[in-house]
Amino acid sequence: MSATEITAHDVETAIRIGLAQLDLLRAEVKIEVLEEGSKGVLGIGSKPARVRLTPFVETVAAATAASAPAEASFNNQDDDDELDDDLPADDAEEIIIELEPETPPVAQALDAGSDSAGEEDDEEEGVTVEDVDLAAALAQGVLDRMDFAVSCTSRLVEAPGGEDYPSVWVDIQGTDAGKLLAHQCEALDALQIVIQTMWAHQTKSNLRLTIDADSYKSRREKRIQQMAERLAENVIESGRSFTMEPMPASERRLVHIALRDHPQVVTESHGEGSGRRITIKLK
């Protein structure tokens, strides 16, 4: 798959169009901004933005062929470091991981208050069936008042390997579910924050709550996990480590989990805030 150049009125729009054409995640491509673009004055002298998207397969091939050691970079959208890692280990500690082919999706959320996946209180493990059902009821109530033709169901999702706390997953299906995915899922993200806050207040639990629409997040989790597995294979074949560009904390967590038991590679997080990223390297 070759690189593609996209022109649009701004950089972010060009990137979204390019990703759609390539059918890839933002983390699976190297993004080069060729022209920032300009609005001009009253529309006079305006210039479109132009970007080049190179699939990471091409980037890895170029890095492997180079004589000097180099790290390939993969772009992903910035995000607040609010769900950080995702793993109880310290940033500097390497995590030995083993590849498991069918890793089930792990729920994640825009949990504005949580900074680690492993520091919740013991009471979280005692979430009841009523607590799980309440999450769906809250989402259904909000969407009914918005006249959305949808139905909400909820379930408790166990973490792989029993090494992490479970989470509550709310599935939204129906005619209007797709409306929540418009404009980079802004409506779904807002609903996530509202329902998480309401649910945590009523249940006194800090478990992560994920709101999904039309199985969008479930599919995305699988793609991220598959991407992590491919990157691990590239590291093994090339003998070179790879540093991914900044990713949302929830997606970094998925990469850690997908590779945590791999016998040949390790993952580690480094950086601060929205610049935090993951490096995958040989054990």
pLDDT 10s digits, 259-277: 988 999 999 998 888 788 8
Choose between 203 and 127: higher pLDDT: 203
Strand order, beta sheet including 242-243: 95-98, 261-270, 277-282, 242-243
3-state helix, strand, coil in the chain (%, to 5): 40, 25, 35
pLDDT at 206 over 90: no
Average pLDDT score over residue span 144-159: 92
What does the pLDDT read at residue 12? Answer: 82
CA distances from 216 to 93, 152, 153, 157, 222 (A): 33, 14, 15, 16, 10
What does the pLDDT read at residue 229? Answer: 92
The region of weakest confidence among 54-68, 75-89, 236-250 is 75-89
What does the pLDDT read at residue 190? Answer: 93
pLDDT band at residue 79, thresholds of 50, 70 and 90? very low
Q: Where are the domains of the chain?
A: 4-65, 131-216
Average pLDDT, the chain: 76
What does the pLDDT read at residue 92? Answer: 38
CA 66 from chain centre, in angstroms, equals 30
pLDDT band at residue 121, thresholds of 50, 70 and 90? very low
Please name the CATH architecture into which domain 131-216 falls. Answer: 2-Layer Sandwich (3.30)
pLDDT 10s digits, 219-250: 988 988 888 998 999 899 999 998 887 778 88
Nearest-5° Cα angle at 11, 2 to 75: 55
pLDDT band at residue 46, thresholds of 50, 70 and 90? confident
Average pLDDT score over residue span 34-57: 80
pLDDT band at residue 150, thresholds of 50, 70 and 90? very high
